[in-house]
A and B are shown apart, each in its own frame.
Chain A
Amino acid sequence: MKGTEEENLLSEVTEKNYEYGFTTEIESDTIAPGLDESVIRTISKKKNEPDWLLEWRLEAFAAWTKMEEPEWAHVAYEKPDLQSISFYSAPKQKKELASLDEVDPELLKTMDKLGISVEEQKKLSGVAVDFVMDSVSVATSFKETLGELGVIFCSLGEAIQEHPELVRKYIGTVVPQRDNYYAALNSAVFTDGSFCYIPKGVRCPMELSTYFRINQAGTGQFERTLIVADEGSYVSYLEGCTAPQRDENQLHAAVVEIISHDEAEVKYSTVQNWYPGDKDGKGGVFNFVTKRGICHRSAKISWTQVETGSAVTWKYPSCILKGDDSIGEFFSVAVTNNKQQADTGTKMIHLGRRTRSTIISKGISSGESQNSYRGLVQIHPGAENARNFSVCDSLLMTDRCGAHTFPYIEAKTPTAQIEHEATTSKIGEDQIFYCQQRGIEEEEAIGLIVKGYAKDVLNKLPMEFAVEAQKLLTISLEGSVG
Chain B
Amino acid sequence: MWRFAGKRALAALLVLFAISVLVFLIFFATPGIDPAARIAGRNASQETLTQVRASFGFDRPIWVQYGLMMQHLFINRDLTSFVNRGSQVIPQVMQAIPVTLSLVFGAALIWVVLALIMGVAATAARGTVIDPLILVIGVIGVSLPVFWLGEVVNLVTQSRLHDTVFAWVPQLGYVPLTDGVGPWALHLLFPWLTLAVLYAGIYARVLRSEMVASMNEDYVRMARAKGIGETRVLIRHSLRTSMISIVSLFGLDFGALIGGAALLTEVVFGLQGVGKLTYDSLQNFDLPVILACVLYASFFVVLANFIVDLLYAWLDPRVRHV
A and B: interacting chains: no
Chain B residues within CB distance 8 Å of chain A:
none
